[in-house]
Chains A and B, each alone.
Chain A
Amino acid sequence: MIAAKTQNAVNFTEVFSTRTGAVYQCDRERCWYIDFAGKLVKFDYRGLMKLKTSIYRVNIEALLLDNSKSPEIEMVFICACNHCYFLNLLQIIALKELLEGTFVMLELNQIIHDRLSRIVI
């Protein structure tokens, strides 16, 4: 499934990928595509920041220690985005890992731009 989705994304620049998913940037549309949990979803800047906030806010430790028989499913719904994620605990950990890596790479990209193309002589 992931491979099929990835093929659609060959025109994009890969920002970061793990065994469970990948994030691509589309310069022309100024947005990101997240290939995760069997679907490819487009996020603009605000959407990506909101996704980051909602995933980072999940208390993974509390879910791990939860003894109740409730299913470990979290629904991640981003306002003004047509998609939502239904994720189990392992998927939340995986998506968090994917986003953490993505933001490190985006920060690195900013440092490279600052050093190479924004030099004031």
Chain B
Amino acid sequence: MKDIMRIKSLLSTDIEALLNQQIKKEAHSSALYLAMASWCNQNGFDYSSDYFSKQSDEERYHQLKLFKYVLDMGGSAISPEVSGIKHDYTSLREVFEDALEQEVAITQSFKNIAANCMKEQDFVTFEFLNWFMKEQREEEYKARRALELFEVIGEEGTGLWEIDKHVNKIKYDSEAAE
């Protein structure tokens, strides 16, 4: 009996489901960052708004990269529904705290997929995930550094204005992330 399942797709059902979940998470992240950009803009934090708009684009790019991989490997990529996006924040600090929390959750999610790939010996997907692992280094670094500005500069006086101006200057230039 021919192995039609393997001929049609490289991905196992479980890994395909996990990748589709990740596509949804990236779409959710992208929408969340856009909501953060909106809040920042409405409250006069123009640089932070730009920063979150760019982050939103990046998450969308991650989503499409995963989407293409699932299709390329013969799987069925699912365009996700996105709902429950938080739009209201009490402070700029809360926005950045949520952004870091979001990145940590995404990293955890990729670690979980990688663990499952190892378990199934799906080294093809495991290797594909390496790009995202490196990307998460940068994402977490930037989110953490942004939050640290609140301690370094302080929120008093023109502090928030200074923080907003510095957010866009955060760069991660480790050669490993290139």
Residues in B with CB closer than 8 Å to A30 are: 2, 4, 7
How many chain B residues touch A (Cβ–Cβ < 8 Å)?
11
A106 and B76 contact, CB distance less than 8 A: no
Residues in A with CB closer than 8 Å to B4 are: 25, 27, 30-32, 45, 106
Residues in A with CB closer than 8 Å to B76 are: 46, 49
The one of A46, A49, A113 in contact with B3, judged by C-beta atoms closer than 8 angstroms, is A113
A110 and B1 contact, CB distance less than 8 A: no
Residues in A with CB closer than 8 Å to B171 are: none
The one of A25, A27, A32, A110 in contact with B6, judged by C-beta atoms closer than 8 angstroms, is A110
B119 interface hit (Cβ, 8 Å)? no
A54 interface hit (Cβ, 8 Å)? no
- Least CB distance, A118 to chain B, in whole angstroms: 9
B86 interface hit (Cβ, 8 Å)? no
Total cross-chain contacts (CB, 8 A) = 31
Given known A46-B76, A49-B76, contact A109–B3 (CB-CB < 8 A) = yes
A109 and B8 contact, CB distance less than 8 A: no
Given known A46-B76, A49-B76, contact A13–B1 (CB-CB < 8 A) = yes
Dominant secondary structure of chain B at its interface with chain A: helix
CA distance A27 to B1 in the complex (A): 7
How many chain A residues touch B (Cβ–Cβ < 8 Å)?
16
Q: Identify the interface centre among B1, B6, B8, B76: most chain A CB within 10 Å of its CB.
A: B1
- Least CB distance, A80 to chain B, in whole angstroms: 13
B152 interface hit (Cβ, 8 Å)? no
Residues in A with CB closer than 8 Å to B13 are: 103
Given known A46-B76, A49-B76, contact A106–B2 (CB-CB < 8 A) = no
15 contacts between A and B (CB under 8 A): A25-B1, A25-B2, A25-B4, A27-B1, A30-B4, A30-B7, A31-B4, A32-B4, A45-B8, A46-B76, A49-B76, A106-B4, A107-B5, A109-B3, A110-B5
* Interface of A toward B, CB cutoff 8 Å: 13, 15, 25, 27, 30-32, 45-46, 49, 103, 106-107, 109-110, 113
Given A45-B8, A106-B5, 4 additional A-B pairs, CB 8 A = A30-B4, A103-B13, A106-B4, A109-B3
